[in-house]
Chains A and B, each alone.
Chain A
């Protein structure tokens, strides 16, 4: 089935540790996005990529990093510089500019 796969579903981070969240899509979409959702809030954009080997910061990029080495993959690293990483992280992708974004099932990150 075509879709967006995020892994793991749950992730725990120790203080001072970097963790990487995976996002893979088999929809042949050019654009991919990472969003963060805090309890009771809407989603906020962290990073986005419109094409392989290119990405831009969103509204809350501090403490995060990404790469886009393959069209299918857009991993997000939550670094130790992100002081409040506990949140629900959602990845999305989009085909043409006039098409909607589609979302994965998300990863819940917590601090140990």
Chain B
């Protein structure tokens, strides 16, 4: 099956710093989602991005499908950005099932 690797596994930032999270995947896919899981377990959609670049406020994402990776950029981080960030790959040929990476745990400190 598809393998999804995320790096780094853990990240500690001071408030205001920028960061880049990476997602590598082993096979071609139809689409990719980035999620933020907050400390209460809620899974929040960030981006649905098969290719190219999207921006939403302080967050942006870039997927290069031909090279099998995606990047999530967080600028001017805030303590509310803490939590776990997951990328998940979608194969529309299999009912759009999601295959998740193991996540990057981010802690933003004051």
Contacts and interface: CB of A to CB of B under 8 A. Distances in A.
Interface of A: 31, 33, 35, 40-45, 48, 50, 56, 58-59, 88, 90, 92, 94, 97-103, 105-106, 108
Contacts of A33: 97-98
Contacts of B95: 31, 48, 50, 56
Q: Say what secondary structure dominates the interface of chain B.
A: strand
Contacts of B45: 100, 102-103
A106 B42 contact: yes
A83 to B, nearest CB: 23
Interface stretch (B65-73, B75-83, B100-108): B100-108
15 contacts: A33-B97, A41-B102, A41-B103, A43-B98, A45-B97, A56-B95, A88-B41, A90-B43, A92-B98, A100-B48, A103-B42, A103-B45, A105-B40, A105-B41, A108-B41
Contacts of A99: 48
Interface residues of B, number: 22
Given A42-B101, A48-B95, 6 more contacts: A42-B102, A43-B43, A45-B98, A50-B95, A103-B35, A103-B43
A39 to B, nearest CB: 11
Contacts, number: 56
A42 B35 CA distance: 11
Interface of B: 1, 4, 31, 33, 35, 40-43, 45, 48, 86, 88, 92, 95-98, 100-103
Task: Say what secondary structure dominates the interface of chain A.
Answer: strand
Contacts of B42: 103, 105-106
Given A88-B41, A100-B48, A101-B33, A43 B86 contact: yes
